[in-house]
Amino acid sequence: MDDVKEKYLAQIAAAGTESALEEVRLAAVGKKGEVSLKMRELGKMSPEERQTAGPALNALKDAINEALAARKAALADAALEARLAGEWLDVTLPGRSRGAALGTIHPISQVWEEVTAIFADMGFTVAEGPQIETDWYNFDALNIPDHHPARGEMDTFYMHRAEGDDRPPHVLRTHTSPVQIRSMQDKGAPIRIICPGRVYRADYDQTHTPMFHQVEGLVIDRDTSMANLKWVLEEFFSAFFGRSVKTRFRASHFPFTEPSAEVDIQCSFEGGTVKVGEGDGWLEVLGSGMVHPHVLRSGGVDPDEWQGFAFGMGIDRIAMLKYGIPDLRAFFDSDLRWLRHYGFSPLQVPTLYGGV
If the CB atoms of residues 144 and 356 are measured against ligand PHE, the closer one turns out to be: 144
Residue at shortest CB range from ligand PHE: 312
Please, what is the Cα angle at 20 between 14 and 21, to 5 degrees?
Answer: 75
If the CB atoms of residues 5 and 175 are measured against ligand PHE, the closer one turns out to be: 175
CB of 188: closest distance to ligand PHE in angstroms? 19
CB of 226: closest distance to ligand PHE in angstroms? 12
**Hey, what amino acid is at 334?**
S
Query: Mapping DSSP to helix (H, G, I), strand (E, B) and coil, where does residue 316 land?
Result: helix
CB of 218: closest distance to ligand PHE in angstroms? 8
**Hey, what amino acid is at 77?**
D
User: Backbone phi, then psi, for 3, in 5-degree steps?
Assistant: -60, -45
Please say whether the beta carbons of 126 and 193 come within 8 A.
Answer: yes
If the CB atoms of residues 306 and 311 are measured against ligand PHE, the closer one turns out to be: 311
If the CB atoms of residues 28 and 179 are measured against ligand PHE, the closer one turns out to be: 179
If the CB atoms of residues 254 and 306 are measured against ligand PHE, the closer one turns out to be: 254
Q: How far is CA 149 from CA 42, 139, 154, 214, 239, in A?
A: 127, 11, 9, 22, 36
Diameter over CA atoms, the chain: 137
Footprint on this chain of ligand PHE (rule: CB under 6 A): 175, 177, 254, 257, 287-289, 310-312
CB of 287: closest distance to ligand PHE in angstroms? 3
One-character DSSP codes across 85-101: HHT---TTSPPPP-GGG
Cβ neighbours for 110, distance < 8 A, ≥ 6 positions apart: 319, 344, 350
Neighbouring-strand partners of residue 133: 171
If the CB atoms of residues 33 and 308 are measured against ligand PHE, the closer one turns out to be: 308
CB of 160: closest distance to ligand PHE in angstroms? 23
If the CB atoms of residues 139 and 254 are measured against ligand PHE, the closer one turns out to be: 254
CB of 174: closest distance to ligand PHE in angstroms? 7
Estimate the crossing angle of helix 226-241 against helix 315-323, to 10 degrees: 40
Total residue count of the chain as it appears in this document: 356
CB of 203: closest distance to ligand PHE in angstroms? 12
